[in-house]
Amino acid sequence: MAIWHRCLVWVLGWATLAAAACGETIEVASATMGVTGYNAGQAIGTDQFLGWRFELTTGLLVSEVGGHMVAAPDGGVFAAIVRLDALDALPPGFPFADSEVLATAAMTPPVPSDEVFVDLQALLVPGSYALVFGSGLYEGGMTKTGTNAAMVQAGSQDLLEGVSTDSFIAWIGAEQRWRSGIASPTHGMRFVVRGAEVASLADFELDGDVDGGDLSVWGAGFGKTPDAVLTDGDADSDGSVTGSDFLEWQRAFAEAAAPTGAAVPEPVAWVLAAVAALLVASMHALRSSQTAE
């Protein structure tokens, strides 16, 4: 039974949902898109990274990130999604703790300014994050010293509901620290994250419901570590497919199968556990026979 009971991803605090519909791309953004054609803005380079903090209350399968920016001559930047401890927290590390950097990509902004995007794949579970642009790290060899691009700040770009100057952060290389409150309250910077809602982290098939097919995915992926992802059966995003991921599937399956507000009968849990045990045993037996051959 389908559990896509919501068509919108509700974003709290210093972020807002610009547009969303079931089956369509969801856009989480900091500001409206303004007039293009600028040649300057807040500097992005090896000495200064710029970021925007946002929070999600449901899963998001990210497909691309971007914003309104302009490149310096021969300039390029990296984009990174970083996990935060809380919405008002700063990225850990100097400048990052590798374990908290979930995905990166290299991109080359246009000249003059325009909205630009780069493909970036990441599964974000409910929580707090920062989208950061900078230079000198990660893919693409974007290491030209100094300023490589800029985020456009324009009066035509209105901060969206819940977004404030404290939503934006900067890594200041000369000070070796992160700072917040670096944006103008009247001239917004547009950061954008796009992707598809994952209504349940037990939907391993990403087909919009939680059913036996998702249990089969979990069984096939059981034991995979340390690089497991949602489509392997990793519901809690810890990089491994374990019994805790089965429990998440069991909970979501029971919620979908039971009438609203009704308690799930205890025998259901026993049946699900038995099915899971048989599935894992059969998978292990199949792998053993293949190894023997």
Secondary structure of the chain in the HEC alphabet? CECCCCCCCCEECCCEEEECCCCCCEEEECECCCCCCCCCCEEEECCEEEEEEEEECCEEEEEEEEEEEEECCCCCEEEEEEEECCCCCCCCCCCCCHHHEEEEEEECCCCCCEEEEEEEEEEECCEEEEEEEECCCCHHHCCCCCEEEEECCECCCCECCCCCHHHEEEEECCCCEEEECCCCCCCECCEEEEEEEECCCCCCCCCCECCHHHHHHHHHHCCCCCCCCHHHCCCCCCCCCCHHHHHHHHHHHHHHHCCCCCCCCHHHHHHHHHHHHHHHHHHHHHHHHHHHC
142/104: higher pLDDT: 104
Cα–Cα distance for residue pair 88/166, rounded to 1 Å: 8
> pTM for the whole thing?
0.78
Q: Label residue 2 by pLDDT band (50, 70, 90).
A: very low
Residue 63 and residue 109: Cα distance in Å, rounded?
18
In degrees rounded to 5, what are phi and psi of residue 29? -140, 160
Please say if the pLDDT value at position 167 is more than 90.
Answer: yes
Q: Rg of the chain over CA atoms, in angstroms?
A: 22
Residue 89 pLDDT greater than 80, yes or no: yes
Confidence of residue 14 (pLDDT cuts 50, 70, 90): very low
Answer for the pair 3, 210: CB distance below 8 angstroms, yes or no.
Answer: yes
The answer on pLDDT for 80 being more than 70 is yes
Q: For the chain, what are the domain ranges? A: 11-196, 204-292
**Which one is predicted more confidently, 293 or 7?**
293
Asked if pLDDT for residue 117 goes beyond 70, the answer is yes
Whole-number Å distance between alpha carbons of 31 and 213: 39
pLDDT, tens only, 25-55: 799 999 999 999 999 999 999 999 999 999 9
pLDDT of 257 above 80: no
How far apart CA 107 and CA 119 sit, in angstroms, is 9
Tell me how crowded residue 260 is: count the other CB atoms within 10 A of its CB. Answer: 6
The more confidently predicted of residues 229 and 80 is: 80
Burial class from Cβ neighbours inside 10 Å (0-12, 13-18, 19+) for residue 268 reads: middle
